[in-house]
Amino acid sequence: MLDIEPDPSTKLFSHIDFTSGAVAAVSGGSDSTALLLLLKQHLDRTAPSTRLLAVTVDHGLRRGSAAEAQAVAKLCAERAIAHRIMAWSGDKPSTGLPAAAREARYRLLAQAARSEGLGLIVTGHTLDDQAETVLMRHARNDHRDFDDLAGRGLAGMAPATLHDWREWIVRPLLGVHRSALRGFLRREQVGWAEDPTNADEAFERPRVRAALADDAQRIGHALALAGGAAAARSRLGGEAAEMIGRFCGQPASGLIRLDPGLLSAGNDTAAIYALRILLATTGGLAFLPDEARGAGLFGRLKAGFLCATLSRTVVDFRRAGIFLHREMRGLPQPAIIADGAVWDGRRRITSNDRGGALSIAPRGAAAAKRLVVAEGEVPPSLARAALAVEPASWQTAESDGSTQGGRTSPGFATRPVIAPFARFLPSFDLAPARAMASLIGAEPVPASPWRGHSAG
């Protein structure tokens, strides 16, 4: 647990690569204000030419939010820091407001970073935030984001998270108490805003925050839980990545083949985790199937040949291997797709049409049957089943299906995405994400935000 010393910025920031500049997310609260000032001190001393942009997201949820954003702008002007206010406009949901606000915040921060060509987003999440997050997930036991086997939820917030496969979100204050940051601000004679929603126990986090107040033992337990879970998650991810590289191939577009040797490799825990990642990626789903269902399917595969469906993915175990492809049910309806959009959670669309609007539909079984499929180790019926669920221009899907391979079609090209990691990729999960990118031909993981390291 790091306390704020007279000059703590070396410990906090020296391991981060700021070559491409940074966006600092600054709400005006104590944590983010301290982050901004500490980061400015560090960059002024070590890399004064580095571009730093402070961004305040005004969610428009409280009457005083605009004034708080202006107060941050005033502080930045006094400290010669570039600043921008980004407003969350439009209708706000009646339920799930904290999650929607968080999603909007990261979207707007990424928008600011991209518009300025800055590669990092730095946030002020603290040791206290980490403890709250872990205890919330432990209490919720939400299997969409938590399972004991992989330590996924209890690992808490990662030191770095890749957003939209583009910008790294870095959290350098995860080892710092909020009280230490406030002590630093008092020494600097800088005030901060108090968000009343942080004390509104109608929301889950304020309730947990109140329960943790001055309970050092419980905070320590939560952090120990997070550390152990993070190490377990990273270790299991590395083992699953090794299995993916060793036993998996992509013999045709949209079709993954698993060598049956995966079933007897001697590490069922890692093999099940790998299978869950493969299923979610093939089906285009952001969440892995829960551990119990993944283990159940793995056991059935061990028992012999089968054809089953899980996570929108057909699992077909034949003599030629275990094959995975997207099922036909639930495919997107024909629609206009914008350049850069993700289709069906599986393919990012790049327009070759200067008009910009693309009418895209699943190729369909009838069009896929007319495709010429090379004979080989893959049963032609499986290759066509995989091609039938690939995106095609509406005209191609309705007519002769002449486009080959499923990766290009008149007016656009596609690139696979890894659905469970496409929106947020925590640094805990880098190994399986890299293995999946190599397997399916997705964009490589961008370079690490840590100094002296690369995407490898």
Shared-domain flag, residues 287 and 192:
no
The reply to whether 152 falls in a domain is yes
Q: Which of 214, 244, 268 represents a domain boundary (last residue)?
A: 214
Shared-domain flag, residues 83 and 159:
yes
pLDDT of amino acid 1 = 46
- Beta bridge partner(s), residue 348: 342, 415
Shared-domain flag, residues 65 and 181:
yes
The reply to whether 244 falls in a domain is no
Shared-domain flag, residues 257 and 180:
no
Count of C-beta atoms within a 10 Å radius of residue 151: 23
Confidence label for 143 from pLDDT (cuts 50, 70 and 90): very low
* Average pLDDT, integer, range 43-47: 95
Structural domain range at position 317: 252-421
* Average pLDDT, integer, range 113-132: 94
Q: Is the pLDDT of residue 407 over 50?
A: no
Shared-domain flag, residues 44 and 114:
yes
Pairing of strands 424-426, 412-416: unpaired
The reply to whether 205 falls in a domain is yes
For residue 157, the domain's CATH number is: 3.40.50.620
pLDDT of amino acid 145 = 42
Shared-domain flag, residues 202 and 301:
no
How many Å apart are CA 337 and CA 348, to the nearest integer? Answer: 10
User: Which residues, 6 or more positions from 280, have their beta carbon under 8 angstroms from its beta carbon?
Assistant: 286, 287, 288, 289, 311, 419, 420
Kindly state the percentage of the chain with pLDDT values over 70. 85
The reply to whether 246 falls in a domain is no
pLDDT of amino acid 195 = 72
Shared-domain flag, residues 209 and 325:
no
pLDDT of amino acid 200 = 57
The reply to whether 389 falls in a domain is yes
Lowest mean pLDDT among 42-56, 172-186, 307-321, 442-456: 442-456
Q: pTM of whole model > 0.95?
A: no
Kindly state the percentage of the chain with pLDDT values over 90. 66
Pairing of strands 342-343, 347-351: antiparallel
Shared-domain flag, residues 203 and 337:
no
How many Å apart are CA 161 and CA 423, to the nearest integer? Answer: 10
Shared-domain flag, residues 200 and 270:
no
Q: Encoding tokens for residue 71?
A: 């107060």
The reply to whether 245 falls in a domain is no
H helices within 337-426, ranges in order? 365-369, 380-388, 394-398, 419-422
Q: Which of 214, 240, 270 represents a domain boundary (last residue)?
A: 214
Over residues 368-406, the pLDDT tens digits come to: 888 777 767 788 899 999 999 999 887 555 554 444 333
* Average pLDDT, integer, range 78-97: 91
More confident residue, 149 or 184: 184
- State how many domains the chain has: 2
pLDDT of amino acid 147 = 46
Over residues 47-68, the pLDDT tens digits come to: 999 999 999 999 988 888 899 9
Shared-domain flag, residues 181 and 303:
no
Mean pLDDT score of the chain, rounded to an integer? 87
The reply to whether 334 falls in a domain is yes
How many Å apart are CA 236 and CA 453, to the nearest integer? Answer: 21
* Nearest residue to 9 (alpha-carbon basis) of 35, 48, 47: 35
Shared-domain flag, residues 291 and 180:
no
More confident residue, 52 or 197: 52
- Beta bridge partner(s), residue 370: none
User: Which residues, 6 or more positions from 6, have their beta carbon under 8 angstroms from its beta carbon?
Assistant: none
Of the spans 209-213, 244-248, 353-357, 359-363, which averages the highest pLDDT?
Answer: 244-248
Q: Which of 193, 214, 235 represents a domain boundary (last residue)?
A: 214
Q: Is the pLDDT of residue 164 over 60?
A: yes
The reply to whether 289 falls in a domain is yes
Over residues 262-295, the pLDDT tens digits come to: 999 999 999 999 999 999 999 999 999 999 999 9
Shared-domain flag, residues 321 and 189:
no
